[in-house]
Amino acid sequence: MLIKRGNGPNPLKGWQVDRSAIRTIGQDLRRPECILAERDGTLWAADARGGVMRINPDGTQALIAQSPDDHFDLRVNSEQSLLFGTLPNGLAFSKTGDILIANFGTDRLELMTRDGKIRTLYDSLDGKPLGKVNFVMRDSRDRIWITVSTRVNPWDKALRSTLADGYILLLDEHGLRVAAEGFAFTNEVKFDADEEWLYIAESAAKRVTRMRVTAKGELTDREIYGPANLGDGFIDGISFDSYGNLWGTMVIADRLIAITPQGDVLELLDDGNHEANARAEAEYATGNPISFETLNATGGSIAPWLACVTFGGADLKTAYLGGLKASTIPYFESPVAGLPLAHW
């Protein structure tokens, strides 16, 4: 199934998402920021009520949460909804099949069983709070990689070009430790097929960086991957396909892009509000935080505030989109299979 990376014609060259072919699954979701896919077609989407929504292949669904919290309602108060209360964000399957949750609201790394029992794994390191825990990923060696976007609270004050206090944690047989720091709002991270490089979405810097990974889990040789500025929006979710393209979502601008193995950027979908995006970009350019009033005006109609892209389906050619303002999950067929994650 895997294409030899970077050889032959790139399946994404000249291809864009056909809006008329997009379908949806799931309903009444709350902030499906991250999506996990299983071989049998089951999806698990982060849910702002304090857990995950399990969506079966036939479309039936069930909220899995220990104590559902209904604080999240963007229609009533977006600032209150996004800055306070539990906010499950990044998800990963543990080796046993339970779900690791990076909770962006409680600032904790949590573990939830498939029947909804949640316990905190870590909320501090060396006696200090972790900060805004954003994403979690398990690799083939069963190492757990965790990103912390910022120590600034409320976090919206950190989405600016003049701050880089994000960092990456590694949890392995030696315990929890800082693997690298100095990132501008650390977001999703992914490995390439050989797990040689770790790719890091730096949202506030509008770029992807990468670092070489040693056998001991040390991160070295930091460099920018692709353009130093990816354009409108803020890079959020990233996923490799089997050719070697790194797909990325540009939240706020609602663009879906891909960085080719040669470092070029392909725009696969543009669903943003261009007028509102221009105002957001102008405020970002000042070096100050973007106002909530400006942010609230942005977002498209497919997966508003596009935040993640996940490959699933039996052949890994179904691309699912998650959005911070979305209430359903759009999906479409990709011309190239996704790169399998550790749980696949």
Q: What is the mean pLDDT of residues 140-150?
A: 97
What is the distance between the alpha carbons of residues 228 and 260, in angstroms, rounded to a whole number? 14
The count of C-alpha atoms lying within 13 angstroms of the C-alpha of 333, restricted to the half-sphere facing its C-beta, is 5
pLDDT number for residue 54:
98
- 45-66 residue pLDDT tens: 999 999 999 999 999 999 999 8
39 located within any domain: yes
Q: What is the CATH number of the domain that holds 244?
A: 2.120.10.30
pLDDT reading at 335 higher than 90 = yes
Tokens of 87: 């906010």
Is the CB of residue 65 less than 8 Å from the CB of residue 51?
yes
pLDDT reading at 341 higher than 60 = yes
What is the distance between the alpha carbons of residues 272 and 251, in angstroms, rounded to a whole number? 9
What is the distance between the alpha carbons of residues 4 and 40, in angstroms, rounded to a whole number? 26
DSSP string, 146-201: EEE--S-SSGGGG-STT---EEEEEEETTEEEEEEEEESSEEEEEE-TTS-EEEEE
pLDDT number for residue 3:
37
Q: What is the mean pLDDT of residues 112-118?
A: 95
pLDDT number for residue 123:
98
Cβ burial of 78 (10 Å; 0-12, 13-18, 19+) is middle
User: Could you list the residue range(s) of the whole structural domain that residue 203 is in?
Assistant: 19-333
pLDDT band (50, 70, 90) for residue 84: confident
Per-residue CA distances from 270 to 12, 233, 274, 298, 300 (Å): 15, 11, 9, 13, 9
pLDDT reading at 7 higher than 60 = yes
pLDDT reading at 127 higher than 80 = yes
338 located within any domain: no
3 located within any domain: no
pLDDT number for residue 18:
98
pLDDT number for residue 201:
98
pLDDT reading at 313 higher than 80 = yes
Is the CB of residue 337 less than 8 Å from the CB of residue 317?
yes
Tell me if residue 79 falls in helix, strand or coil. helix
pLDDT reading at 257 higher than 60 = yes
Domain count along the chain: 1
340 located within any domain: no
What is the distance between the alpha carbons of residues 197 and 209, in angstroms, rounded to a whole number? 10
Q: Mean pLDDT across the chain, nearest whole number? A: 95
**Full strand arrangement of the beta sheet holding 133-138:** 133-138, 144-148, 166-172, 175-183
Q: What is the mean pLDDT of residues 145-167?
A: 94
101 located within any domain: yes
pLDDT number for residue 4:
44
For the chain, the first-to-last Cα distance in angstroms comes to: 13
Per-residue CA distances from 62 to 31, 39, 45, 65, 249 (Å): 15, 19, 11, 9, 27
pLDDT reading at 113 higher than 50 = yes
- 10-19 residue pLDDT tens: 999 999 999 9
Per-residue CA distances from 36 to 137, 232, 270, 312 (Å): 11, 26, 24, 8
158 located within any domain: yes
3-state secondary structure 192-227: CCCCCEEEEEEHHHCEEEEEEECCCCCEEEEEEECC
259 located within any domain: yes
